[in-house]
């Protein structure tokens, strides 16, 4: 049973790592976009408002990306209903990246408040543990894929082809001997 679940676990780990990678890489981009907005007063007020909130009220701030992205969900549904697949996919990707980036930005501002709640701290630590487990599950697979890609790279293609031929001859030679 566990052997049957391994591919599913690897797929889930890959999805989890993709989300974590996007989260990590979009946070500076969103910070840059926010820094480019010339509304310093507004940004300072938003940061101060988040700072004044209670830890529980800070959770409500996470509804902002969902409210902002709600019209994009309708646009995506409209594209799907009218069979505009490219528009639907582009809208889905844009909404995902925008939502993840804004959520990462909000989480960065609200993290100290949220970590004051014991249940949130344990959930956060569990998510970090899960991230470590996902890396432990996927990293060996990634290293094998990198080795394989190095073997079949154009620079080493001739050497790899000779190696495969040698292995094939040896295998055919042992079959003929049997």
Domain edge (last residue) among 116, 138, 153: 116
> How remote is the C-alpha of 109 from its chain's centroid?
20
**H helix or E strand, kind and range, residue 39:** none
CB 170 within 8 A of CB 178: no
Q: Say whether both 75 and 108 belong to one domain.
A: yes
What residue numbers bound the domain in which 162 lies? Answer: 119-178
Tens digit of pLDDT for each residue in 65-89? Answer: 778 788 888 888 899 899 898 988 8
Domain edge (last residue) among 63, 88, 116: 116
State pTM to two decimals: 0.56
CA proximity to 60, closest of 14, 113, 15: 113
pLDDT score at 27: 67
Position 61 confidence tier, pLDDT thresholds 50, 70, 90: confident
Position 37 confidence tier, pLDDT thresholds 50, 70, 90: low
pLDDT score at 31: 67
Q: Which residue has the tokens 């309708």?
A: 74
Tens digit of pLDDT for each residue in 161-176? Answer: 777 778 878 877 765 6
- Whole-number Å distance between alpha carbons of 122 and 115: 9
Position 38 confidence tier, pLDDT thresholds 50, 70, 90: low
Q: Say whether both 108 and 172 belong to one domain.
A: no
pLDDT score at 39: 61
A 10 A CB-CB count for 76 gives 20
Residue 178, pLDDT above cutoff 60: no
Q: Say whether both 128 and 48 belong to one domain.
A: no
Domain edge (last residue) among 116, 144, 169: 116
SS3 72: helix
Q: Say whether both 21 and 70 belong to one domain.
A: yes
Tens digit of pLDDT for each residue in 106-155? Answer: 777 788 888 888 988 998 898 888 878 877 877 787 777 777 777 666 66
Q: Say whether both 3 and 78 belong to one domain.
A: yes
Domain count of the chain?
A: 2
Q: Say whether both 58 and 90 belong to one domain.
A: yes
Q: Say whether both 61 and 108 belong to one domain.
A: yes
């Amino acid at each position: 049973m566990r052997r049957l679940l391994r591919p599913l676990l690897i797929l889930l780990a890959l999805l989890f790592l993709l989300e974590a990678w996007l989260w990590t890489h979009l946070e500076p981009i969103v910070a840059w976009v926010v820094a480019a907005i010339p509304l310093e007063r507004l940004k300072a007020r938003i940061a101060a408002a988040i700072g004044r909130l209670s830890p529980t009220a800070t959770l409500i701030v996470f509804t902002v990306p969902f409210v902002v992205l709600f019209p994009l969900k309708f646009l995506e549904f409209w594209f799907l209903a009218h069979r505009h697949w490219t528009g639907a996919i582009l809208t889905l990707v844009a909404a995902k990246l925008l939502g993840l980036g804004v959520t990462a930005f909000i989480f960065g501002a609200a993290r100290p408040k949220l970590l004051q709640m014991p249940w949130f701290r344990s959930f956060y630590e569990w998510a970090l543990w899960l991230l470590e487990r996902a890396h432990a599950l996927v990293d060996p697979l990634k290293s094998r894929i990198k080795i394989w890609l190095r073997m079949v790279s154009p620079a080493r293609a001739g050497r790899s082809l000779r190696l495969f031929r040698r292995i094939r001859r040896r295998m055919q030679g042992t079959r003929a001997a049997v």
